[in-house]
Structure 1
Amino acid sequence: MTRLRPARPEAVATALVDLADLSPFFTLAVGETDGAWRPVTDAYADGLAHLVADRVTRYGTPEHRIAASVVQLGHAARLWSVVLGCVVAHDIVPDLGDLHQQVNGPALRLPVARGWYAPEGEDLVQVLHRMVMDEHLAALAAGLRVKVAPGLLRGNAGSALAEAARTLLRARPALRGPLTHLAGRLLDSAALRGTGEFTGPDLTFRRRSCCLYYRVPGGEKCGDCSLDRSRR
């Protein structure tokens, strides 16, 4: 694999600021911010228990695995949104090795802006897959306090990737070419392979698993759900 070239800190910070207005999922603060924070590795070891407990209460469901699934899906979306946005819009891979999370919420921040200039081709796909899937989502899966099927969690990661790409495409349609290419390559890589497929030019997506949200009181099937027979 090509050795990554460090990016200037100000270039990384500029990329993150540029994405922040797209949605909360694209927001990654840098430096000192209000509130209490902890290393995301500690939050993973705890299975993001604070967020799971909040979802259990909000949904009014005794099935903690549903809450854990939705929390993991949301966290995956935050990771993919920032990573895809920085790479496609700014040719920068943000360094998420020192990522922090709110003690009482889902927001993320970096103490210092670091990263690399994006490599090309398969090197880029491998770098992004390793960062999000291996270094972050695998650690979160290992820390979950309830059993959630590995295939479901991988499906959530694929769905989160697709939603991040779709949101970025709506906001920055000029990025369609490189965004579609990279998202497609990622979706066909390692643990993401087989989780679903893009079904249209606007990156509509059909996953091959279900996040279980439809099982909460008043819940419904998501737009990309494999159980939605109307889209078959």
Structure 2
Amino acid sequence: MPPPMPAGAGEVADALRAAARLGPYFAITLDADGLGDAGRPPSDGAEPAEEADRAWRPLPERDPGRLARLTDLYAGRLGTRERRVAASILFQGLASRLWSPVVAAAARGVVPDLSGLHWRWAPGAPIALRLAEPRGHRAAGPAEAAGLVHDQVVTGQLEPLRETMLTFVGLADGLLWGNAASALAGSLNVGPRDAVRAALVRELLARPPLAGAGAFGPHGFVRRNCCLYYRVPPGGEMCGDCGLRRPPRRGGPPPR
């Protein structure tokens, strides 16, 4: 199979801007759009949780101490004392932010290169993403696009994020990749129905490590495990795609 064709900077930028029109979770800001100074910290008056990371940080995040502090601050925002719950939900949130714009752009035939990707988190807002240069490849059809997206999101971002998180918190692989699968399937719930995007999502869900993490049924995607959100106080709330019929009793074995 011939190597994928590089896409021009203008093609990548146009695909990312089109993706961003679907909503904030689909946005990757480009420095070319006039945000070359976006690394400046937020203005004074920021809430304490924002103190964890005032500047843009490279993704994947490889600093365990920084990610652990952010996870603990995230736990405080959620009102839980369980670091693994906060880490699980943070992982799912990052997965959602990575999948959404990349898959939407790929459905237009262009897969952005996430080298040089940076992120910033602030309470009450989607995780912000920024790219210095719009680079990428053209993709001919869902199969080729899925391979390119998998390389950029799973291999390039989620696997290193998993490795960093596992240095300070215990999370089962089934849970983490279930979170990633849930985030990917959930990206289809935003914007108009798009057969190309849906085909790409199904292609990605059939590839390891997402294969077997869940499946589409009559009422949408259902995962085979739980992200632990039910443990966020006051407790009992379950996500729409949760594979559990009811929350397990506290003190029982954690979902995998």
Task: Give the alignment's TM-score, normalised by structure 1.
Answer: 0.87
Identity across aligned pairs (percent)? Answer: 40
The structure with the greater share of residues assigned to helix is 1
SS of 2:209's equivalent in the other structure is helix
The correspondence of residues 77-92 of structure 1 with structure 2, limited to 5 A, is: 77-88=96-107, 90-92=108-110
Q: Are 2:6 and 2:138, in contact at CA under 8 Å, matched by a contact in 1?
A: yes
Are the structure 2 counterparts of residues 26 and 33 from structure 1 closer, same or farther at C-alpha, using a change threshold of 3 Å? Answer: farther
The correspondence of residues 21-40 of structure 1 with structure 2, limited to 5 A, is: 21-31=21-31, 32-34=36-38, 35=40, 36-40=55-59
Measure, in 1, the Cα distance between the counterparts of 2:129 and 2:227: 23
Instruction: Give the aligned partner of residue 158 of structure 1.
Output: 181
Structure with larger Rg = 2
Q: CA deviation at 1:118?
A: 1.2
The correspondence of residues 7-156 of structure 1 with structure 2, limited to 5 A, is: 7-31=7-31, 32-34=36-38, 35=40, 36-41=55-60, 43-46=61-64, 48-88=67-107, 90-102=108-120, 106-144=127-165, 145-156=168-179
Question: What is the one-letter code of the residue matched to 2:13?
Answer: A
Q: Are 1:187 and 1:193, in contact at CA under 8 Å, matched by a contact in 2?
A: yes
Residues 23-42 of structure 1: CA distance to partner in whole angstroms, max 9, x if unpaired?
Answer: 2210100112533212113x
Question: What is the one-letter code of the residue matched to 1:221?
Answer: M
Q: CA deviation at 1:73?
A: 0.2
Q: For the aligned residues, what is the CA RMSD? A: 1.9
Q: CA deviation at 1:51?
A: 3.6
Question: What is the one-letter code of the residue matched to 1:216?
Answer: V
The correspondence for 2:230, drawn from 190, 203, 214, is: 214
Instruction: Give the aligned partner of residue 243 of structure 2.
Output: 226
Residues 83-111 of structure 1: CA distance to partner in whole angstroms, max 9, x if unpaired?
Answer: 110011x2100111211112767311101
Instruction: Give the aligned partner of residue 205 of structure 1.
Output: 221
Q: Point out where structure 1 has 5 or more consecutive residues left out of the alignment.
A: none
Are the structure 2 counterparts of residues 13 and 137 from structure 1 closer, same or farther at C-alpha, using a change threshold of 3 Å? Answer: same
Are the structure 2 counterparts of residues 147 and 196 from structure 1 closer, same or farther at C-alpha, using a change threshold of 3 Å? Answer: same
Q: Are 2:109 and 2:141, in contact at CA under 8 Å, matched by a contact in 1?
A: no
Measure, in 2, the Cα distance between the counterparts of 1:212 and 1:125: 28
Measure, in 2, the Cα distance between the counterparts of 1:18 and 1:123: 21
